[in-house]
């Protein structure tokens, strides 16, 4: 199963524009195995957050911020499949997301 097919199975489905933006941001990562969903979604979220941080703020960033939020949510939905790794992944994600402005 690919990440793209795994995302299509999530419920509730995101609004169309958000789903399209998630697909755009994931790019080629969407074709990778769903077993990598946590890392792939988190990587995409960190990259997009860095882009948002580097441009002037405003309403035009709203969709991208929602996309970051959705990708992090999906990353942790995937991570929940391996509870023993959840604490480590949460610490790593917080660290990576907090370092984006640097």
Q: How many CB atoms lie within 10 A of CB 44?
A: 24
Of 2, 4, 5, the C-alpha closest to 23 is 4
Indicate the number of domains in the chain: 1
Nearest C-alpha neighbor of 42 from the set 102, 88, 11: 88
**Quick check: 22 and 71 in contact, CB under 8 A?**
yes
What is the pTM assigned to this prediction?
A: 0.93
Give the separation between CA 8 and CA 89, rounded to whole angstroms: 23
Residue 66: which domain range? 3-98
22-75: pLDDT as tens digits: 999 999 999 999 999 999 999 999 999 999 998 887 788 999 999 999 999 999
């Amino acid at each position: 199963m690919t990440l793209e097919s795994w995302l299509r199975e999530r419920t509730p489905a995101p609004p169309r524009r958000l789903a399209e933006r998630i697909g755009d941001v994931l790019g080629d990562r969407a074709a990778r195995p769903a077993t990598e969903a946590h890392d792939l979604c988190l990587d995409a979220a960190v990259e997009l957050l860095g882009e948002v941080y580097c441009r002037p703020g405003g309403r035009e960033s709203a969709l991208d911020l929602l996309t970051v939020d959705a990708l992090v949510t999906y990353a942790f939905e995937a991570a929940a499949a391996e509870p023993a790794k959840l604490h480590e992944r949460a610490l790593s994600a917080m660290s990576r997301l907090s370092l984006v402005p640097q």
